[in-house]
Amino acid sequence: LKKIGVMTSGGDSPGMNTAIRAVARACAYYQIKCVGIKMGYEGLIHNQMSELGARSVKHIINRGGTFLQTARSEEFRTKEGRAKAFENLKKNELDALIIIGGDGSFTGGNVFFKEFGIPFIGVPGTIDNDIFGTDFTIGYDTALNTVIEAIDRIRDSATSHNRVFFVEVMGRDAGFIALNSGIASGAQDILIPEKKDSLDDLFGSLQHSQQSNKNSSIIVVAEGEELGNVYDLAKATEMRFPDYDVRVTVLGHIQRGGNPSCMDRVLASRLGVAAVEGLLDGKSDVMAGIRSNKIVFTPIAEAIKKHNEIDKELIKVAKILAI
Ligand code: F6P
């Protein structure tokens, strides 16, 4: 193994820069060349890449986003696109790839590996924490901290006005961000796609809040919630309780930005080093993850197919503490 390409792909997440830095530095340490590929698979298709030495990645450990930039490449989904990517890979003498991203990016790597036999290791980078084979994905902890800071602020306003706030958080079709940020910000109710929520339960919870003299209620809603979107839920609540003062906040992309937390920086550093060492050990078509604080490698096919379960204990804790 002489030369490794690294890219970020899919949605950005805080800590991706830290992971790129870790890959570049680990390559320098083990005396192999590292090449940074711009814009995910797009950069491979359009031959946009340049060498990354240990010093090329200085002062990015703490920066949000990804300096290599990222994309969700449509062209890479086509056979022709992947053939172009393979040509450029050969032209640049890349022996292997490290792909930092989510399951869509890993699916691309898996197909590419099957077609052309290019060794690759995936590193889970997404705020959603929805990837099987790791307890935490890079960016998740930072996003949680951003969300609870925002909800704390909303709470100040909510209590001052005796209001009910519906706060929508990201997570695609998973409720990890909602459940954990909801517990951490003292939400009255948390609506996530993994549990079967009903309007009756929600209204019961809001009524309880009112009767027990709480002077604000925060309802955290995962964007993938199946009961309805945050505006529909707020509307239904206003219809049911005409005297409630209801507001909606959609946190949106502020959840994806910002300096990575210490947790994310350490995680990204460990996974970046593990990915390089994994390739040097001859591993391929696997994802480097962390479980019970130990590095583990999971076959990509499994990481893509399986889903992390929501912890029922957390659902119980949220319910008990909303008393
Ligand atoms: O996967 C990360 C994520 O932020 C999801 O939580 C969200 O559903 C999606 O990406 C938003 O994608 P985009 O940035 O393309 O709007």
- Supply the Cα-derived Rg of the chain in whole angstroms: 22
Return the active site residues: 128
Alpha carbons 202 and 185: distance in angstroms, whole number: 18
pLDDT digit string (tens) for 66-125? Answer: 999 999 999 999 999 999 999 999 999 999 999 999 999 999 999 999 999 999 999 999
What's the token pair of residue 146? 């951003």
Residue nearest to atom 9 of ligand 1 (CA): 172
Q: 8 near 125, Cβ under 8 Å?
A: yes
Distance separating alpha carbons of residues 110 and 16, to the nearest angstrom: 20
Q: Report the pLDDT value the prediction gives residue 249, as an integer from 0 to 100.
A: 98
Task: Specify whether the CB–CB gap between 39 and 70 falls below 8 A.
Answer: yes
pLDDT, residue 131, reads 97
Which residue, among 273, 269, 264, has the nearest Cα to 34 in the 3D structure? 273
* 213 labelled ligand-binding: no
Q: Which atom number of ligand 1 is nearest to the Cα of residue 224? A: 8
Q: Is 171 in the pocket of ligand 1 (CB under 6 A)?
A: yes
The tens digit of pLDDT for each residue in 150-201 reads 999 999 999 999 999 999 999 999 999 999 999 999 999 999 999 989 999 9
Of 197, 192, 40, nearest to 129 (Cα)?
A: 192
Identify whether the C-beta of residue 122 lies closer than 8 Å to the C-beta of residue 296: no
- pLDDT confidence of residue 14: 98
Q: How many helices (H) and strands (E) does the chain have?
A: 11, 11
pLDDT in tens, 204-218: 999 999 999 999 999
pLDDT, tens digit, for every residue of 224-282? 999 999 999 999 999 999 999 999 999 999 999 999 999 999 999 999 999 999 999 99
Q: Is ligand 1 within 6 A of the CB of residue 256?
A: yes
The pLDDT value recorded for residue 284 is: 97
Q: Is the ipTM of this complex over 0.85?
A: yes
State the pTM of this model: 0.97
Give the whole-angstrom CA distance, residue 110 versus residue 104. Answer: 10
User: At CA 26, angle to CA 20 and CA 29, rounded to 5?
Assistant: 145
Q: Is the dihedral of CA 137, 142, 146, 148 positive or negative?
A: positive
Q: What is the token pair recorded at 164?
A: 């009910």
Q: Is 88 in the pocket of ligand 1 (CB under 6 A)?
A: no
**Dihedral sign (CA 173, 149, 294, 34):** positive
Q: Is residue 24 a known part of a binding site?
A: yes
Q: Tell me how far the alpha carbon of residue 144 lies from the centroid of ligand 1, in angstroms.
A: 15
Could you tell me if the CB of 126 is within 6 A of ligand 1? Answer: yes
Ligand 1 pocket: which of 9, 127, 250 to mutate (most atoms within 8 A of CB):
127
Distance separating alpha carbons of residues 86 and 29, to the nearest angstrom: 27
